[in-house]
Amino acid sequence: MKVLTWQGNQNVEVTEVPDPRIQEPTDAIIKVTSTAICGSDLHLYGVLGPYLKPGDVLGHEAMGIVQEVGAGAANHLSVGDRVVVPFNISCGHCWMCGHGLFAQCETTQVRDEGKGASLFGYTSLYGSVPGGQAEYLRVPQAQFGPIVVPDGTPDERFLFLSDILPTAWQAVRYAGVPPGGTVAVFGLGPVGQLAVRIAAHLGAGRIIGIDRVPERLALAEKYGAETINFGDLDGVDDVATTLIDMVDGRGPDATIDAVGMEAHGWTLAAAAQKATGLLPDALAQKVTDKFALDRLDALYTAMKGVRRGGTVSVSGVYGGELDPLPMMEMFDRGIQLRMGQAHVRRWTDDILPLVLDPADPLGTLDLTTHRLPLAEAARGYEMFQAKSDGCVKVVLSP
């Protein structure tokens, strides 16, 4: 089968590998019909290369048709089912899963690396599980994870249940925006766009989106957000001051960081990330594990721009170990901080009625700006990273 593989820093390639097969009774095999490029895939494309090896299959946002089911998953799935596959691999029955913490599943935790649940297509840190940017996908823990969805609608109606919809939903829930309150969303990529829409659906009175890409700002405005182009302002303090001034001289009730480790700005950390990527893998892994820094402009601004006693919700992926935080300001202002990988199955029952609604209240059908064949995935990565050609979301067709 054809798959998209990592071959080196900013180098991905479609190659041929053997078709997957059932390895455990709780496995299923799906024929992938759609698979998306996620913003966190770009971290693999540029920053987390030391934890990949050439030939690793990428991708963690996939859906398709069940082709084969192991005996241990037969009570949940049948051949021919149309399913969406959550990006984190969760058993559904361990202590963590029993508490709704599916991203920390104890059955699939990668304990050797000190990490949570295994993820599809996401480095040795998260289990080196072959990903979904492929013609076929082996799905472990299929007795619980895959979400069966009806036929008869475009894949994009359901595809984003794999990651970005639950990620955005969790970000808004963690933000705890009071009814009629104000939330600011930093980063208007796919997760940020959905966070804008979800916040409006869940009762936020005012939503402010922050980005510098005109197409992304315009799309957020379509769904009712006021916007700030941070390219027109002078750094963290200027953006934070603008936010505070916009909301009663106090600031929004909550802020959402939907950017993560590769935010624009903080050139020292950017240089350190690039330099680490040039080291031999064994050394680069040690440096990343113990001494890594993130680009923190978005997070700093989210912390400085939220009102006193407000909440900062972090959905953007971070990987640093030595990141400095403004602890005095955070403590003095009484900021609450919530974060983490999305617990996908914790939220899907809430979201599914909305994506089934013919009115499409979350706009799942207008998020995809580019659909490409799997053979052109490398071009999709380049375009998505550069934010060129109005790119917001790329979906691949195997």
**Tens-place pLDDT, residues 89-124:** 999 999 999 999 999 999 999 999 999 999 999 999
With cut-offs at 50, 70 and 90, classify the pLDDT of residue 320.
confident
Per-residue pLDDT at 361 exceeds 60: yes
pLDDT for 321 equals 78
Same domain for 196 and 149, yes or no, is: no
Distance, in Å, from the CA atom of 293 to the CA atom of 299, rounded to the nearest integer, reads 13
The residue among 317, 339, 361 that closes a domain is 339
Confidence at residue 273, expressed as pLDDT on a 0 to 100 scale: 46
Using an 8 Å Cβ cutoff, are 78 and 105 in contact?
A: no
| Final residue before a domain boundary, out of 291, 318, 339 | 339
Domain stops at, among 339, 371, 386: 339
- Return phi, psi of residue 47, to 5°: -110, -40
Within this chain, do residues 18 and 29 fall inside the same structural domain, yes or no?
A: yes
**pLDDT score, position 268:** 44
- The whole-angstrom separation of Cα 8 and Cα 350 is 39
Mean pLDDT of the chain: 92
Question: 290 and 176 in one domain?
Answer: yes
Regarding whether 357 and 334 lie in a shared domain, the answer is no
My answer on whether 104 and 123 are in the same domain is: yes
Amino acid of residue 103:
A
Beta-bridge partners for 31: 65, 136
Q: Are 226 and 298 members of one domain?
A: yes
What is the model's pLDDT at position 275?
47
pLDDT in tens, 160-184: 999 999 999 999 999 999 999 999 9
Same domain, residue pair 335 and 357: no
In terms of domains, do 295 and 368 share one?
Answer: no
State the distance between the two ends of the chain, measured CA to CA, in whole angstroms.
10
Query: pTM value?
Result: 0.92
> Minimum mean pLDDT among 195-199, 212-216, 268-272, 314-318: which range?
268-272
Same-domain check for residues 172 and 270 = yes
289 pLDDT band (50/70/90 cuts)?
low
How does DSSP classify residue 52?
Answer: -
Which regions of 214-356 does DSSP assign to beta strands (E)?
226-229, 254-257, 311-314, 336-339
Q: Sorting pLDDT into bands at 50, 70 and 90, what band is 214? A: very high
Q: What is the pLDDT of residue 293?
A: 59
Q: Which domain holds residue 289?
A: 165-339
State the pLDDT confidence band at 47, using cuts at 50, 70 and 90. low
Residues 225 and 316 placed together within one structural domain of the fold: yes
pLDDT of residue 262: 63
Grouping H, G, I as helix, E, B as strand and the rest as coil, residue 258 is coil
| 272 pLDDT above the threshold of 60 | no
* Average pLDDT rounded to a whole number, residues 305-322: 91
**Same domain, residue pair 220 and 352:** no
The C-alpha atoms of residue 98 and residue 235 are separated, in whole angstroms, by 43
* pLDDT score of 287 more than 60: no
Strands 2-8 and 11-16 turn out to be antiparallel
User: What are the distances in angstroms from CA 168 to CA 202, 292, 357, 366?
Assistant: 12, 26, 18, 16
pLDDT above 50 (res 286): no
Please determine, for residue 282, whether its predicted confidence score (pLDDT) is greater than 90: no
Single-letter amino acid, residue 242: T
How does residue 240 score in pLDDT terms, banded at 50, 70 and 90? very high
What is the pLDDT, as a whole number, of residue 266?
46
Q: Residues of the chain with pLDDT > 90: what percent?
A: 82
Q: Do the Cβ atoms of 288 and 319 come closer than 8 Å?
A: yes
Residue 160: its pLDDT value, please?
Answer: 98
Q: Is the pLDDT of residue 43 over 90?
A: no
3-state secondary structure of 227: strand
- Mean pLDDT, residues 39-60 taken together: 88
Residue 34 and residue 42 in contact, taking contact as beta carbons nearer than 8 Å: no
Number of structural domains the chain divides into: 2
Which is more confident, 5 or 269? 5
Q: Domain with 310 in it: what CATH number?
A: 3.40.50.720
| Shared-domain flag, residues 248 and 301 | yes
